[in-house]
Chains A and B, each alone.
Chain A
């Protein structure tokens, strides 16, 4: 056997083995998530969330929403967040050194005045220029922190320092919350007396093309444009299948930065958000888990499948590319910071399963996909490619992708059924058919660029322009 032949076999079988392993893990995730989602649906039938609205014993929340150059929509965004239904709530808006007129608009719209305020700087942050509260008692829940620019993680840390309640919800300021979102997020913190619930994630859904009036989601529509629609499908897969399965295993490594609730004391005890990574949401979860493991305290991080938070997804390739590039860098940075977890028995499931899974199937997958593609091109040019094998492997992978997407759509239809028209479901299925040819290569390429940017030590977020909702 010539060396070329050995090399070809190695590459071919390497890709095959990797594909089968990743597909097996997806099959497990898909099946395993069903039990968790169904259990949640059954449990929900016995839950009367009004309890939290009337009880003086209900936990209190601080919502922390960082804002940077959001002047166009900030006033409406704040109004939307203020309208969330919960009794004991404070809303902390962090103006992270915006260069636009965000602060001026907030002061005028909410009749804010600067107040003397002692900040217990438990986590170091950039300088806070002032704390503002409203003169109007209607807005008594609102606290605005004006600070020097330090990035999202720094702004969130400032929020953690200022927050007065033990439970904090970190959210993107332009997200639209369901009215009962906080009541649903509060329940897992109250349910299990035997373990410390340190974080709860809520499902984020795509709001593009949805009808939003006065800061509230009035009608759910499937996104008209391809890119937001394919991300809708991607989010359904990720949240209804992936996150629910990991939640059941108690192995979650990520609660979306767009919407997550945390135990403030634990978040502060482990140092708050890391300002040196662009994946601060994932890094905090890993660090919190690591902290609890090292303290040998039983803990849990949970996900609830209700669609509670709606966000605008990038609708052009440039913005989407930047987002995926940043996600990739965030993942790698987090994995690098916590490399000591890799197959480390001391960290139990975190070290033996969650971390290796993210390493092999989240970080490595796009690289292997890209390298496989390059190898195939080279082999084709050299006339060494076994076309039968290549095409069969491609069909095998694509057919599984289709199956997995269809299963996610089935779960969505059975559980929350947000897209009620058959036409919308058909569109989602067609999107699933197109995804491997248009969206997937783009996402892989963005991830590869993320790897390259990281090697070139690019640390920025990249500009994330949003169109904004018509509030």
Chain B
């Protein structure tokens, strides 16, 4: 009975604890909702005020002889000076400047950059980079400096291109491209961490807005010990059609990583020469199914008539995906004669070749 009494007492205490915690959470929910609502309204009011300052900066033309207080670029009205010493208005200003900066160009963009510097927001961003330990604050600082085109901060940012935190290094790598364009890719020489597919997409998108200046390190990247650097370099080769690198790319066919090989086959398809098809066929026998499939898709693009006998052989493969891909490649390579080539195949009337041929026939008709 004594044990039961102790048990009951313990349960009562725990239940009271849970109920108190429940009430505290309920209070926290409603306080948070009110706070969020108040904050939203406050931000909206501040946005309206701050936008006046941004608007002024966007169209500002400094008088050539007149000097402003402390050699400042633009005179900031007193009401704003006082307001921008506070944390929230400063945060709202920063958000708005970053938002506007993404959507403008030319002189207005330079003006906004000057306003950003004059108000000390650049120092704030550098503080995020140097004084905080949380990865998302550091990454935010880098992103901000990159958007605001603070090129003189490149040295501070560049040391993070191989940071152990993926988000910090991703932002630092993006900033390097933003500041230096294709030259910024030199970080590929030193990174030891893999580039995620996501980051590769991001970098390619950023590069698409930069003038193409040639790839100085691409041969080295194609031989990098970091496999993700090789796949990224292969993407660069195919996006920018670097035909002169065909032979260097072809060497990647010897690579042990299947993903690299697959990417190599896809790249060779985009920069193919008369040597490409024989090279792919040479490697075919030793490849796994994925690479074989990629090879057949490549031959479908290359359309080399010399490959037809090889492709016809592949119709006998056990794997139906490979049969279908080979048949598609025959159709593409043999042109209007494709159906006749397929129909001439000894098994053309039996399953599954018959169905494959019917599908391709219908697709050709469309």
Least CB distance from A49 to B in Å reads: 10
* B33 lies within 8 A of A190 (CB): no
Answer whether residue A179 sits at the interface, using C-beta atoms and an 8 A cutoff. Answer: no
Near B by CB (< 8 A), chain A positions 115-145 give 115-120, 122
Answer whether residue B301 sits at the interface, using C-beta atoms and an 8 A cutoff. Answer: no
Question: Within 8 Å CB of B28, what residues of A?
Answer: 410
Near B by CB (< 8 A), chain A positions 391-443 give 392-393, 395-396, 399-400, 402-403, 406-407, 409-410, 413-414, 417, 422, 425, 429
Given A392-B12, A425-B30, verify A118-B7 contact (CB < 8 Å): no
Answer whether residue A57 sits at the interface, using C-beta atoms and an 8 A cutoff. Answer: yes
Query: Which of B15-23, B152-160, B180-188, B304-312 lies on the face that meets chain A?
Result: B15-23
Question: Within 8 Å CB of B11, what residues of A?
Answer: 16, 392-393, 395-396
Answer whether residue B230 sits at the interface, using C-beta atoms and an 8 A cutoff. Answer: no
CA distance A55 to B30 in the complex (A): 43
Name the one of A12, A43, A399 contacting B22, with C-beta atoms under 8 angstroms. A399
Answer whether residue A308 sits at the interface, using C-beta atoms and an 8 A cutoff. Answer: no
CA distance A191 to B33 in the complex (A): 33
Answer whether residue B143 sits at the interface, using C-beta atoms and an 8 A cutoff. Answer: yes
Question: Within 8 Å CB of A193, what residues of B?
Answer: 194-197, 228
Answer whether residue B258 sits at the interface, using C-beta atoms and an 8 A cutoff. Answer: no
* B361 lies within 8 A of A413 (CB): no
* B15 lies within 8 A of A396 (CB): yes
* B324 lies within 8 A of A118 (CB): yes
B167-199 vs A: 1/0 string, CB under 8 Å?
100110000000000000000000000111110
CA distance A13 to B36 in the complex (A): 45
CA distance A190 to B194 in the complex (A): 12
Number of A-B contacts defined by CB within 8 Å? 125
Given A54-B205, A118-B356, A422-B33, verify A191-B19 contact (CB < 8 Å): no
Given A190-B198, A429-B26, verify A395-B15 contact (CB < 8 Å): yes
CA distance A12 to B1 in the complex (A): 12
Answer whether residue A3 sits at the interface, using C-beta atoms and an 8 A cutoff. Answer: no
Name the one of B12, B19, B170, B197 contacting A46, with C-beta atoms under 8 angstroms. B170
Answer whether residue B344 sits at the interface, using C-beta atoms and an 8 A cutoff. Answer: no
CA distance A402 to B321 in the complex (A): 54
* A194 lies within 8 A of B201 (CB): no
Question: Within 8 Å CB of A406, what residues of B?
Answer: 22, 25-26, 29
Of B33, B198, B235, B321, which is in contact with the most chain A CB atoms at under 10 Å from its CB?
B198
Name the one of A46, A192, A393 contacting B167, with C-beta atoms under 8 angstroms. A46
Answer whether residue A454 sits at the interface, using C-beta atoms and an 8 A cutoff. Answer: no
Given A57-B235, A191-B198, A194-B194, verify A118-B355 contact (CB < 8 Å): yes
* A389 lies within 8 A of B201 (CB): no
* B19 lies within 8 A of A402 (CB): yes
B352-366 vs A: 1/0 string, CB under 8 Å?
100110110110000
Nearest residue, chain A, Cβ from B266 = A57
Least CB distance from A432 to B in Å reads: 9
Question: Within 8 Å CB of A413, what residues of B?
Answer: 29, 32-33
Interface residues on B, range: 35 or more
Answer whether residue B4 sits at the interface, using C-beta atoms and an 8 A cutoff. Answer: yes
Question: Within 8 Å CB of B163, what residues of A?
Answer: none
In terms of DSSP, what is the predominant structure of the interface of chain B? helix
Question: Within 8 Å CB of A402, what residues of B?
Answer: 18-19, 22
Name the one of B135, B170, B205, B359 contacting A55, with C-beta atoms under 8 angstroms. B205
CA distance A58 to B18 in the complex (A): 48
Least CB distance from B145 to A in Å reads: 14
* A57 lies within 8 A of B194 (CB): no
CA distance A119 to B28 in the complex (A): 56
Question: Within 8 Å CB of A13, what residues of B?
Answer: 7
Answer whether residue B139 sits at the interface, using C-beta atoms and an 8 A cutoff. Answer: yes
Nearest residue, chain B, Cβ from A417 = B36
Answer whether residue A296 sits at the interface, using C-beta atoms and an 8 A cutoff. Answer: no
Answer whether residue B39 sits at the interface, using C-beta atoms and an 8 A cutoff. Answer: no
CA distance A87 to B117 in the complex (A): 39
Answer whether residue A388 sits at the interface, using C-beta atoms and an 8 A cutoff. Answer: yes
* B204 lies within 8 A of A42 (CB): no
Answer whether residue A378 sits at the interface, using C-beta atoms and an 8 A cutoff. Answer: no
* B8 lies within 8 A of A389 (CB): yes
* A51 lies within 8 A of B201 (CB): yes
What are 14 A-B residue pairs whose CB atoms fall within 8 Å in the complex? A13-B7, A45-B140, A51-B201, A52-B201, A57-B235, A115-B359, A116-B361, A192-B196, A389-B7, A396-B12, A396-B15, A406-B22, A410-B25, A413-B33
Knowing that A42-B136, A117-B359, A392-B11 are A-B contacts, what are 4 other residue pairs whose CB atoms are under 8 Å apart, sorted by A's residue number? Answer: A46-B143, A191-B198, A389-B4, A410-B29
Shortest Cβ-Cβ A-B pairs, 10 listed:
A116-B358, A190-B197, A399-B18, A193-B194, A42-B136, A190-B198, A120-B320, A406-B25, A118-B355, A396-B15
Give me the interface of B with A, judged by CB distance under 8 Å.
Answer: 4, 7-8, 11-12, 14-15, 18-19, 21-22, 25-26, 28-30, 32-33, 36, 135-136, 139-140, 143, 167, 170-171, 194-198, 200-202, 204-205, 228, 235, 320-321, 324, 352, 355-356, 358-359, 361-362
